[in-house]
Amino acid sequence: MNPAAAEVRSSIRTVLASWAGLVSDERRLQPPSREIPTLARFLGRHIQWLTRHPAAGDMAEEIRDLARNARNLAYPNSVRRVPVGSCPESDCAGELFAHIRAHDDLHPSEIICTLSPCHSWPVTCWARLARQIHIRKGERA
Ligand SMILES: [Zn+2]
């Protein structure tokens, strides 16, 4: 395993063990072993309780950062292609895909139609696009 991956893995174990420790302390439970899948399952079982905990925001932020670091390490400079739905432009039968790029990528993330390159939306327009897709879905139903 490369050193950066080992470091991320170690951070994941430390952070999950820390939150599992909080759960087991405050709920007076036996703490789980420090295996990452075991820690994740333990936290998953207590997620309802955790979401009501005052530190829930901190936990979400820490885990989001870990996930981002792990993803960036596993897929450096890659573009993730995520299906979004049908193109909302009139008379277009294309499908939309979000091309998600890393923050340091030279190109911005955007949503692009499979049929027309003119049907594209930068990140700043995604909320408006979501409304358009929602409205178009309603018209088709
Ligand atoms: Zn289109």
pLDDT digit string, tens, across residues 56-77 = 999 999 998 898 888 778 877 6
User: Which domain range does residue 117 map to?
Assistant: 80-140
The structure tokens 């030279």 sit at: 106
Are residues 39 and 60 both part of a single domain? Answer: yes
Are residues 87 and 59 both part of a single domain? Answer: no
Instruction: Put residue 33 in one of left, alpha, beta given phi > 0 → left and psi -120 to 50 → alpha.
Output: beta
Q: What is the per-residue DSSP string for 51-83? A: HTSTTHHHHHHHHHHHHHHHHHHHSTT--EEEE
Give the residue among 84, 80, 77, 75 at the shortest CA–CA distance from 111: 84
Give the mean model confidence (pLDDT) for residues 101-129: 88
Are residues 97 and 68 both part of a single domain? Answer: no
**Residues measured by CB to lie within 5 Å of ligand 1, the ion:** 87, 89, 92, 94, 113, 116, 119
132 vs 28 pLDDT, higher one = 28
Task: Please tell me the predicted confidence (pLDDT) of residue 124.
Answer: 92
The answer on pLDDT for 44 being more than 90 is: yes
The answer on pLDDT for 102 being more than 80 is: no
> Residue 100's beta-bridge partner residues?
80
Name the 3-class secondary structure at 28.
coil
Cα 96 to ligand 1 centre (Å) = 7
109 vs 105 pLDDT, higher one = 109
**Token output for 62:** 């820490």
Distance of CA 97 to the CA centre of its chain: 16
Cα 141 to ligand 1 centre (Å) = 19
Among residues 74, 107, 127, the one where a domain terminates is 74
Total tally of structural domains belonging to the chain: 2
